[in-house]
């Protein structure tokens, strides 16, 4: 960390800071500027709690130097992580498309939609059984019955399933049915859940919180990685801003930023990041153009009858058109659809590119 002293700090005050640095097991390096003294503290600053140095007399401010995450950082692992699910790579050369209804509502609804999105080119089936809802009076999901339907439809279609887990207690039951665990935006800093997912053998798709910074998203990924699960997929799903025309603001910058800062796969959820079906395809194209490794999209056979998120769900035929466009854009960038890998290899992190 770098400690910036106030203009006019006395020698005694500077010495006091230096003593505290040394008492924390760090080395102090003094730089005498024109206006003020700057002190570099060298060593493992995590132990030193940089914030506390702010409180010493005549300290103006403290600037951390190291990024707070390691395992999630490309600085410490330059090779792209590839998550493999049922032979489908996420984070490899191709792009991966996940689609399906917001909520599992019935066998017929799920199966019909799953067949339609598979036909259109989706590789992984999404569908919620446990639903976080702002209102206690809204549909809360089918629960385990929904998970059973997802498993049945996986058998029929061959598509692996991604579904949300909301609490550590739900994890064992969700693990029985799911191929990828989804942690939702509202739970991005539910640390008990992150730790439970960190102990799971399943890959985890981690959605960015509504007001989470990119650093905080990576810190939450770090929680999962630090608990032993290397298969984390990051998901941009829109942030909260002052703009209300759309439900959220797609932070498209986050796609290249995350690819630059981290080795983890990055996908975009244009359904939540816009909140309106009318804008989903345009933003899906933007995501792939910006370098996302894939998309997760809400599709419903009859959006105006959906029990949740109908407003942002595509009809299957629109989804098909979207798939054609994003595939063509991916090809411009030299990327095809993600390929099945010949042998369902054990998890491979890091994989050399």
Within 215-254, the residues that bind its own copies by CB under 8 A are 215-216, 219, 222-223, 226-227, 239-246, 249-254
Q: Is 21 among the residues that bind its own copies (CB under 8 A)?
A: no
DSSP symbols for 85-140: ETTEEESSSSBEEEEE-SB---HHHHHHHHHHHHHHT--EEE-BSS---SSTTS--
Q: Is 210 among the residues that bind its own copies (CB under 8 A)?
A: yes
Q: Is 287 among the residues that bind its own copies (CB under 8 A)?
A: yes
- Cβ of residue 83: shortest distance to its own copies, in angstroms? 20
Within 114-153, the residues that bind its own copies by CB under 8 A are 132-138
- Cβ of residue 308: shortest distance to its own copies, in angstroms? 8
- Cβ of residue 198: shortest distance to its own copies, in angstroms? 9
Q: Which is nearer to its own copies, 70 or 347 (CB)?
A: 70
- Cβ of residue 72: shortest distance to its own copies, in angstroms? 11
Which of 122, 171, 272, 279 touches its own copies (CB under 8 A)?
A: 279
Q: Is 340 among the residues that bind its own copies (CB under 8 A)?
A: no
Q: Which is nearer to its own copies, 160 or 287 (CB)?
A: 287
Within 61-120, the residues that bind its own copies by CB under 8 A are 63, 65-66, 68, 75-76
Q: Which is nearer to its own copies, 85 or 267 (CB)?
A: 267
Does 350 sit behind a cis peptide bond, omega within 30 degrees of 0 on the bond before it? yes
Q: Is 159 among the residues that bind its own copies (CB under 8 A)?
A: no
Given a contact cutoff of 8 angstroms between Cβ atoms, the answer to whether 226 and 197 are in contact is no
Q: Is 291 among the residues that bind its own copies (CB under 8 A)?
A: yes
Distance, CA of 132 to CA of 50 (rounded, Å): 36
> Which residue(s) pair with 37 in the sheet?
32
Within 36-55, the residues that bind its own copies by CB under 8 A are 36, 38, 40, 42-44, 46, 49, 51-55
**Angle ∠(196,202,207) on CA atoms, nearest 5:** 70
Q: Is 321 among the residues that bind its own copies (CB under 8 A)?
A: no
User: Please, which residues have CB within 8 angstroms of residue 45's CB and are 6 or more apart in sequence?
Assistant: 1, 26, 64, 65, 66
Distance, CA of 128 to CA of 115 (rounded, Å): 17
Distance, CA of 251 to CA of 308 (rounded, Å): 24
| Burial annotation 315-328 (CB, 10 A radius, 16+ → b, else e) | bbebbbebbeebbe
* DSSP state at residue 205: E
């Amino acid at each position: 960390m770098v400690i910036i002293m106030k203009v006019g700090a006395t020698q005694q005050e500077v010495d006091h800071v230096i003593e505290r640095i040394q008492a924390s097991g760090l080395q102090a390096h003094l730089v005498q500027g024109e206006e003020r003294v700057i002190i570099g503290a060298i060593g493992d600053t995590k132990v030193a709690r940089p914030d506390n140095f702010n409180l010493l007399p005549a300290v103006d401010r403290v600037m951390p130097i190291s990024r707070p995450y390691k395992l999630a950082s490309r600085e410490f692992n330059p090779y792209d992580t590839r998550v493999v699910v049922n032979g489908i790579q996420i984070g490899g050369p191709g792009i991966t498309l996940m689609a399906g209804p917001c909520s599992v509502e019935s066998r017929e609804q799920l199966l019909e939609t799953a067949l339609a999105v598979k036909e259109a080119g989706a590789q992984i089936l999404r569908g919620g059984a446990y639903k976080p809802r702002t209102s206690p009076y809204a549909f809360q999901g089918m629960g385990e019955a929904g998970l059973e339907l997802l498993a049945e439809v996986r058998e029929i279609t061959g598509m692996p399933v991604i579904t949300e887990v909301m609490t550590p207690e739900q994890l064992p039951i969700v693990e029985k049915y799911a191929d990828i665990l989804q942690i939702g935006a509202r739970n991005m800093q539910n640390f008990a859940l992150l730790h439970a997912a960190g102990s799971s053998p399943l890959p985890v798709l981690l959605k960015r919180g509504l007001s989470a910074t990119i650093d905080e998203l990576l810190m939450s990924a770090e929680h999962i990685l630090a608990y032993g699960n290397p298969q984390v997929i990051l998901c941009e799903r829109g942030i909260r801003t002052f703009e209300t025309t759309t439900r959220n603001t797609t932070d498209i910058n986050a796609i290249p930023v995350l690819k630059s800062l981290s080795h983890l796969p990055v996908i975009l959820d244009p359904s939540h990041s816009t909140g309106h079906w009318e804008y989903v395809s345009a933003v899906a194209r933007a995501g792939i153009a910006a370098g996302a490794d894939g998309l997760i999209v809400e599709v419903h056979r009859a959006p105006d009858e959906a029990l949740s998120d109908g407003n942002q769900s595509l009809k299957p035929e629109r989804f098909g058109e979207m798939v054609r466009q994003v595939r063509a854009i991916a090809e411009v960038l030299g990327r095809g659809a993600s390929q099945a890998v010949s042998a369902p290899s054990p998890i491979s992190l890091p994989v050399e590119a």
